Amino acid sequence: MSDSTVAIRKLKGGMVGMGMIFDETYRPFFENAYQEGIYDPRTGVIKLEIAAVASRTGGRAARYKDAAGNQINDFASYIEPDSIGQLLNHDVDFVCVATPDDRHYEATMAAIDAGKHVIIEKPSVLSMQQLDSVIAAARNKQVLCKVVYHKLFDPDHKKLRTFVADNILQHINTGYCTLLEPKQISGSQFAEWIQGRNPGTYVAVHYIKLIDFTFGGKLKSISCSGQRGIVGEADGHTWDSTQLRLVYGYESGREAAFDIHTSWVTPDNFPGYVEQEVQFRFDNGIWNGHSRKRGVECTVEEKTPLSIKNSMNNHYNGTFMEPDGRRTQRGYGIEVLEEFAREVAYVEHGTDDRSRDERIDQLSAGFYNDIASDRQTVAAVQAMEAILDQHVSGHPDCVVRVNESGGGLVLYIPGQAEGIVLYKHQV
Ligand SMILES: NC(=O)c1ccc[n+]([C@@H]2O[C@H](COP(=O)([O-])OP(=O)(O)OC[C@H]3O[C@@H](n4cnc5c(N)ncnc54)[C@H](O)[C@@H]3O)[C@@H](O)[C@H]2O)c1
């Protein structure tokens, strides 16, 4: 090949779930990639298409196809029953799983079983048992299986991690984080699957991951309280808000505690799309971050704070007019998906001397977004859900201890000496 020849390779993606997150991040990712391709020095230019989608009813997929016009290629749309099985018969290189979180496992296992690379929305799966099966299946089939945590790509969080890695901020002591979603999420957007669910699994998991990834350490215990009565019954199994506490231990022999407060019942006329704030305290410093108040406050008569919010996160995912006049949609929520596409492209079309298996190994165990990197995050989610379930059955204030001699996750009910083993292997 001469220097002036550019090799153009192709990738085809499949999408499972066409809901809110599809519209926010996957849609612009697929549209940008379709129109402009993606580039990686290890592969050259990659042309990328969305080949097929799967959803419950196909309604949103049809509306999207109509609205998008020539912004996107034509694609097949499959609906239940067995929408995923039908999608997997299609010629796709990778599958994006963005169904409600308690339906990730089945879709992921089916995609891996069909030999496809997979990227799963957070939280990857809801138990360590499921996680073990997914890891084993991905290794067995030699495919990439990755999890999306876009907060790791937020420039503010990258700076925090850089300060920690460079020992500028020394030894984490404590932290608190909050992420509050509007009522429209629990009241209408998620009405189909909200029964029995909680906002902790849905959004605290962003901060569980950020804490786990940024500060390292070993998870030692999990506790959680919560409130009910707005989304569901006051004594029911659907939660309005949760307060999760994680305790971590570090090589120094010292501990840190983190509190993560979440809800999905914030008034819809709140001035931002969501509220997101963190504070982390160190031996020698303090980090205060606010993802919503990064400097912009905008008021528009008859629009703010409902159709446009007063404060906006233009870093996550924004629609812009570029200086040259082009209309774009960009941000770290989309960047994280482009990175995954580059990884798949490298595995399938890399131009270096490595074999496909070597490339898979390089991007799997030990790599930041590999499914196996999610162990402590999934452990925290499994423990939190078990604690909330116990609360519903009349046992509030339980605690789950991690990696005891009796098991990897052991739940203790107040007043009962014997623990319940949720997961027997080490986390
Ligand atoms: N990264 C983020 O910030 C972020 C934000 C929102 C949601 N999410 C995650 O994305 C996932 C989906 O959330 P959402 O907000 O898009 O939900 P949603 O309710 O808006 O959409 C869910 C979609 O899944 C489809 N679906 C449901 N069951 C299915 C099945 N059995 N087979 C095929 N399709 C099925 C529905 O038809 C719908 O298209 C969740 O895991 C959530 O945690 C991530």
Domains of the chain, residue spans:
8-150+326-364, 155-313
Of residues 359 and 4, more confidently modeled:
359
What does the CA dihedral 47, 51, 57, 60 come to, rounded to 10 degrees?
A: 30
Q: Are strands 117-121 and 94-97 parallel, antiparallel or unpaired?
A: parallel
Give the amino acid at 359: R
Query: For domain 8-150+326-364, is the CATH number 3.40.50.300?
Result: no
Q: Are strands 218-227 and 8-16 parallel, antiparallel or unpaired?
A: unpaired
Residue spans of alpha helices (H) in 69-184: 83-88, 104-113, 128-141, 155-165, 183-184
Report the separation in Å between the CA atom of 212 and the middle of ligand 1, taken as the mean of its atom positions: 24
Does ligand 1 lie within 6 Å of residue 190's CB atom?
yes
pLDDT above 60: residue 101: yes
According to the model, what pLDDT value does residue 295 have?
81
Does ligand 1 lie within 6 Å of residue 183's CB atom?
no
% of the chain surpassing 90 pLDDT: 95
Residues 174-195, mean pLDDT to the nearest whole number:
94
DSSP three-state, residue 282? strand
- What end-to-end distance do the CA atoms of the chain give, in Å? 49
Tell which CATH architecture fits domain 155-313. 2-Layer Sandwich (3.30)
Measured at the CA of 101, the angle between CA 100 and CA 107, to 5 degrees, comes to 80
d(CA 242, CA 179) in angstroms, rounded, equals 10
Residue with tokens 């429209």: 184
What would the pLDDT profile of 229-253 be if each residue is shown by its tens digit? 999 999 999 999 999 999 999 999 9
Cα–Cα distances (Å) from 281 to 152, 164, 259, in that order, read 19, 12, 12
What would the pLDDT profile of 269-278 be if each residue is shown by its tens digit? 999 999 999 9
Report the separation in Å between the CA atom of 154 and the middle of ligand 1, taken as the mean of its atom positions: 22
d(CA 271, CA 297) in angstroms, rounded, equals 9
According to the model, what pLDDT value does residue 414 have?
98
The number of beta carbons lying within 10 Å of the beta carbon of residue 41 is 8
Q: Among residues 307, 311, 230, 304, which one has the least CA distance to residue 263?
A: 230
Indicate if 155-313 has the same CATH topology as 8-150+326-364. Answer: no
Does ligand 1 lie within 6 Å of residue 55's CB atom?
yes
Tell me if 318 sits within 8 A of 312, measured CB to CB.
yes
The number of beta carbons lying within 10 Å of the beta carbon of residue 123 is 27
d(CA 145, CA 110) in angstroms, rounded, equals 12
The reported pTM is 0.96
Report the separation in Å between the CA atom of 312 and the middle of ligand 1, taken as the mean of its atom positions: 23
Report the separation in Å between the CA atom of 105 and the middle of ligand 1, taken as the mean of its atom positions: 13
d(CA 394, CA 174) in angstroms, rounded, equals 30
Nearest CA to ligand 1 atom 15: 20
Residues 39-44, mean pLDDT to the nearest whole number:
94
Report the separation in Å between the CA atom of 375 and the middle of ligand 1, taken as the mean of its atom positions: 22
Pocket probe for ligand 1: among 15, 23, 56, the residue whose CB has the most ligand atoms within 8 Å is 56
